Amino acid sequence: MRSSPWIPALCLCLSLAALPAVALAQATEATQETMPKSSAIAAIAPRPLATCPTFQSIACGQTIGGSLDPSDCTLPDGTAVDYYQFAGTIGESITGTLTTSAFPPFLELLDPNRNIKTSNSSGAPGTVQLPFTLDSTGNWSLAVTNNATTPQFGAYTINLACGGIAPTCKPNDTTLCVANGRYSVQATFDAGGGNAGQAHAVALTNDTGYLWFFSASNVEVVVKVLNGCALNSRFWVFAGGLTNVKVTMTVTDIQTQAKKVYQNPPRTTFQPIQDTSAFATCP
């Protein structure tokens, strides 16, 4: 019996029609496998409580036993996530500790606007800790999930320890406080002929201020310290000078006492400072 010439053509058309769906499924699977946990948590964090109602409260000094279950909120990559919320104060030092023998732990800290601030994870079951000095006041959250490439479930414990208010910079006539009080800036100048002394400091914003040497109306150096922890795990120092005298500027991390000293030689135009690796003292 001769076969109909339409049958091979029909089969070919059906095969071609199926290709886009297969390709889409493969692309979706690849996206889920490569999506970082931090991106997944960021994507789900702003969801309304009506669709993610598991924000449990946790207090300083409290240890809570929990479990990742299939019925929990799920991240875009399919893994379960639990959220624990606590009231925090700017400058307060906290440490979150996640312990589990059921899955590789992943712990994330979200600020009151649900932005990711920092995280810690492990490739095997065990304990991870997340120390951080809070940079705003409000309801912060700890997100608990697993660090595996596929959904895993099981029991865990989470602890929140609070270490009190971290020390902050105290501003005065010769001390500029920047980065929300985390850093101090002090400087000396020497114009020669005995015309030397301590620079005077004036704050402009939480991050920025300026220094003057000879007259309050004569700005000599503008300086700022920025929190670049989310980009390269560093605090950044930027400065620009309107002087050619000798300047020694010292920036100090009040919490760790780490210091960076920047110098401008005498009779030399002050060169811009753009130090994006200044302090490896995050968070």
Where residue 126 falls among pLDDT bands split at 50, 70, 90?
A: confident
209 in any annotated domain: yes
Q: Judge if 96 and 147 occupy the same domain.
A: yes
Q: Judge if 85 and 183 occupy the same domain.
A: no
Q: Judge if 146 and 263 occupy the same domain.
A: no
The CATH number covering residue 99 comes to 2.60.120.380
Tokens encoding 149: 């490439």
Cβ atoms of 98 and 112 closer than 8 Å: no
The residue out of 139, 165, 191 marking a domain boundary is 165
Q: Judge if 157 and 52 occupy the same domain.
A: yes
Q: Quick check: 123 pLDDT over 60? A: yes
273 in any annotated domain: yes
Q: Judge if 47 and 117 occupy the same domain.
A: yes
Computed on alpha carbons and rounded to an integer, the radius of gyration of the chain in Å comes to 27
151 in any annotated domain: yes
The residue out of 165, 198, 213 marking a domain boundary is 165
249 in any annotated domain: yes
Average pLDDT over residues 32-40: 62
14 in any annotated domain: no
Where residue 50 falls among pLDDT bands split at 50, 70, 90?
A: very low
* HEC-encoded secondary structure of the chain: CCCCCHHHHHHHHHHHHHHHHHHHHHHHHHHHHHCCHHHHHHHHCCCCCCCCCCEEECCCCEEEEEEECCCCEECCCCCEEEEEEEEECCCEEEEEEEEECCCCEEEEEECCCCCEEEEEECCCCEEEEEEEECCCCEEEEEEEEECCCCCCCEEEEEEEEEEEECCCCCCECCEEEECCCCEEEEEEEECCCCCEEECEEEECCCCEEEEECCCCCCEEEEEEEEECHHHHCCEEEEEEECCCCEEEEEEEECCCCCEEEEEECCCCCCCCEEEEEEECCCC
Average pLDDT over residues 157-173: 84
Average pLDDT over residues 198-220: 96
What pTM was computed for the model? 0.50
Average pLDDT over residues 162-182: 86
Burial of 59 (0-12, 13-18, 19+ CB in 10 A): exposed
Q: Judge if 153 and 45 occupy the same domain.
A: yes
Q: Judge if 41 and 158 occupy the same domain.
A: yes
Q: Judge if 159 and 186 occupy the same domain.
A: no
Q: Quick check: 264 pLDDT over 70? A: yes
| Per-residue confidence (pLDDT) for residue 18, from 0 to 100 | 40
98 in any annotated domain: yes
Does 12 or 236 have the greater pLDDT score?
A: 236
Cβ atoms of 109 and 141 closer than 8 Å: yes
15 in any annotated domain: no
Q: Quick check: 181 pLDDT over 50? A: yes
138 in any annotated domain: yes
- pLDDT tens per residue across span 51-96: 565 688 999 999 999 999 888 888 887 888 899 999 998 888 898 9
The residue out of 113, 142, 165 marking a domain boundary is 165
Average pLDDT, the chain: 83
245 lies in which domain range? Answer: 176-279
Does 31 or 66 have the greater pLDDT score?
A: 66
Q: Structural domain tally of the chain?
A: 2
User: Of 6-10, 185-189, 200-204, 279-283, which range is least confident?
Assistant: 6-10
Q: Judge if 190 and 217 occupy the same domain.
A: yes
Taking the C-alpha atoms of residue 204 and residue 170, their distance in angstroms, rounded to an integer, is 15
